[in-house]
Amino acid sequence: MFKEPGYPIKSKTAPLLKVSGKDAHPGAKARCNTNIKAMALAAAENTSTDHFSSVILYADKITEKFGSWLRKSLGKNGTLIQVYSGLGHASRFYDENNRILEKHSISEDRHSSYYEVYREDNAVSLFPFPGEEHDQVIELVKMRTGLSPSPGKPVFHPAQSVCIEKEKSDALSLHVLLVNLSSKNDPVENLINRPVLPYLGSICRWDSGPANCERLDTVIIDRDDNIKTCWNGRPVGKVGMPYGKIAETLEQLRSESEAKKGCRNCDRDKSCSKCIFPAPLSGGEYCYLKQYTNTDRVTKLIENLNLVKEV
């Protein structure tokens, strides 16, 4: 779940750690764009069939076991995004973690580090570490908050924000938005003329194409070494499990899910992403919404617009 990683640190702001004399993250802007798209579980530009494109790791200490697994599992140009539980842990373990990664052929330019700060407005700010003032903070925001900010509450920069579903009302607010946009005579013009949307962390389930749990572009690793394919998904493996075994596990889960939901007898069988982890919606609720509404076109439009969105 969204609140699982980290410790309950609450702060409205947090300082960036400056590194004098050099830019700690060359091409920080481009890297932030790549990182935020991975956190939104967007399709990778170069999807691999036997390696992950991005690994999001919630951990303060990187172990030799993880380094060895990552070397075998991450694609040649893949990215590791590490999230520390706070500034103190980032300061303490950063150098040793880099040493282990370099030992396992993960160069510093493929490794982005952030530390998290829990905010009072139910958002989590991810501050780059080490960071300069021009480095970009990534905001993880409740879907309902990101789509409909309340008067007097912070407004999050859409190119720096990823909306994540925490409650059923979050999932329904996204679905209502997609249905409303789909009903427009010209959804392209409507999307262009409306305020820019933040990144939507579960939009792949409303498309007709493969969701991240099928593409396996990005995986999320929690603080217990569980491997997940989405923010609300169940574990599909543990660190140390080969990529192929994880893919086999997901295929088995997909077959079981489709049999339970009766996908072969559904009119949308050939045009559904068949999300196997629809939480916070139940499987029945998800299928009902997919059967009686068609959000495929507008979802693809939003995903295409994300490709040109810049921080």
Binning pLDDT at 50, 70 and 90, where does residue 134 land?
A: low
Tell me the pLDDT tens digit for each residue of 28-43.
677 888 899 999 998 8
DSSP at 177: H
- Decide: helix, strand or coil at residue 283: helix
pLDDT of residue 152: 61
| pTM, full prediction | 0.87
Dist CA 24 CA 68 (whole Å)? 25
Dist CA 256 CA 276 (whole Å)? 9
- Count other Cβ atoms within 10 Å, centred on residue 272: 23
Dist CA 47 CA 34 (whole Å)? 14
Tell me the pLDDT tens digit for each residue of 192-217.
777 788 999 989 999 888 899 999 99
Residue 221 has pLDDT above 90, yes or no: yes
